[in-house]
Amino acid sequence: MWNLRYWIWSSLLLIGAYGESALLETLETATRGEIYLLSHKPLDGDGERFLVAPMKEEREILEGVPLTEEDFEFVRGAFLEELAKETESVGMYKHMPIHAIRFYDANGAVVYETSICWMCRNIYVPEEGTARWREFYHRELKKFFMRQLPIPPEVIMEFRAKMGM
């Protein structure tokens, strides 16, 4: 599985060689998606994994929810809307990628995946053989993720303590 994750990611990095406009075009080809609740700590078990590429860390997938057709259209639309906005690259801060998403094409291949940190308001996008953090925040999308896969209160408290909040 480890090698497969890096193969998928290296394939996605090809998108990054052409910038975010190519990512937008790629998302247009996506036909389904799945959202995840991730462990907020680096992987320490043998569970299903999600690669947080810029950090070069894997997180355990605690729960996954396939999106209905209606939910998929909403989520993809929110991503397309946010990714179309001009924005700066942002730092990692204390990225707590508790939520994540994978977009798939009609053949079932992953065309894009990213973790989401709602507190830092960022995701990662592929860029020229690597990945970079990008500002990302969509209020209704956050509400959707929180309804589908709530973050345990103790995780939020731990993160806020780590951030000095």
pTM given for the model: 0.81
Asked if residue 58 lies in contact with residue 36, where contact means CB atoms within 8 angstroms, the answer is no
Q: Please tell me what DSSP assigns to residue 89.
A: B
> Nearest Cα to 126, choosing from 107, 103, 147?
103
Beta bridge partners of 89: 134
- Residue 91: what residue type? G
Question: Where is pLDDT greater, at 68 or 131?
Answer: 68
Section 128-143 average pLDDT: 86
- Residue 11: what residue type? S
Question: Where is pLDDT greater, at 108 or 151?
Answer: 108
Asked if residue 60 lies in contact with residue 42, where contact means CB atoms within 8 angstroms, the answer is no
Question: Where is pLDDT greater, at 15 or 163?
Answer: 163
H helix runs in 50-90, sequence order:
69-83
Looking at residue 6, its pLDDT comes to 45
pLDDT tens, residue by residue, 70-123: 999 999 999 999 988 876 655 555 566 689 999 999 999 999 999 998 888 888
pLDDT tens, residue by residue, 19-31: 577 888 999 999 9
Split at pLDDT 50, 70, 90, the class of 13 is very low
